[in-house]
Amino acid sequence: MIRLRKKKSKKKSMPFEKSSLTPGALLLLLLPLLLLTSCARPPWTALIDEQQKGAVEQTFLEFSESQDRCRKSWDAEVDVSWNSTVRNYAFSAYYRVMGPSYLKLIVSNPLGQPLKAIATNGTTYQAVDAVERSIVSGSLHSWALSHDLPLNLVNGSWLDWLEGRSSATIEQIREIRHDSQERGAWLSIVGIESNEIEEYILLDWETKRIVERILADDRQGSFATLEYRRWEEIDRCFYPILLSISGLPLGGQLELRFSDIRQTDFAPADFNLDFPQGFSRTWLP
């Protein structure tokens, strides 16, 4: 065996139509300036040999199969903190997710009254601000273009990113390299249609879990590094409960701490937002 050592007013609801696209999701909605260029040295080294390659691919297959026994929807409480050279802030929220592309986030005050709510089906998004008494909805694709953000941020697999999973097949692995810190093996993952590298995954050989991933943009640079720093097993499924996202503008780093995770069966209607009467409404195409 090869060992790679690891170091109540009246409200209306607007339903989403079902979408097969992957979610534009949390960071796109929380960080309107998510764009970066990275000059750091890659954390991988030489290509592994053919014998090791077969072993790593088998481990990746076992990792992929282990995801099938887990539900595609769950909810949790999340503590979000953002630190940068110019601004720091933190808040807590209720978080709900369902494959392939649904996400909902609700921020409430200490009395449990919703202040802000955001939801997406992977194609469009809705945002309600109770403080500003406003409702904004629109296309994630157009939003990304108008803010000069990588389209991979919209088209990428956000459920995979937030849950520490991978929807890639063996055929999408272009190459496998050693990790410079001997934590596992780095897999370069290409898109199904583009054949361009979309992300780099560091797979832990022993635990069969993803340790880190680097997301590539449509310019073949990188725009974020995700580190899965702590996991929790729930009903034979592992969920990341501490996720750190770095490489963001102005030296920014986002940290997500999940708690009270529940595997729950949701439907698309569970991701609708209530639209209070009297709020201003804006559609951004």
Cα 252 to Cα 83: distance, rounded to the nearest angstrom:
5
pLDDT value, residue 156: 67
pLDDT value, residue 20: 44
Cα 119 to Cα 229: distance, rounded to the nearest angstrom:
26
Cα 64 to Cα 42: distance, rounded to the nearest angstrom:
25
pLDDT value, residue 47: 96
pLDDT value, residue 35: 41
Residue that is written with structure tokens 């596992």 in the block: 184
pLDDT value, residue 242: 97
CA dihedral over 47, 165, 144, 88, signed as positive or negative: negative
pLDDT digits (tens, 9 = 90+) for 140-160: 887 677 655 666 666 667 778
Cα 58 to Cα 62: distance, rounded to the nearest angstrom:
6
pLDDT value, residue 191: 86
**pTM for the full model?**
0.80
Low-confidence ranges of the chain (pLDDT < 70): 1-40, 143, 146-156, 217-221, 248-250
Q: How far is the CA of 195 from the CAs of 153, 172, 188, in angstroms?
A: 17, 8, 11
pLDDT value, residue 238: 92
What are the structure tokens assigned to 41, written together? 């040295």
E-assigned strand segments in 163-236: 173-179, 185-190, 197-203, 210-216, 222-234
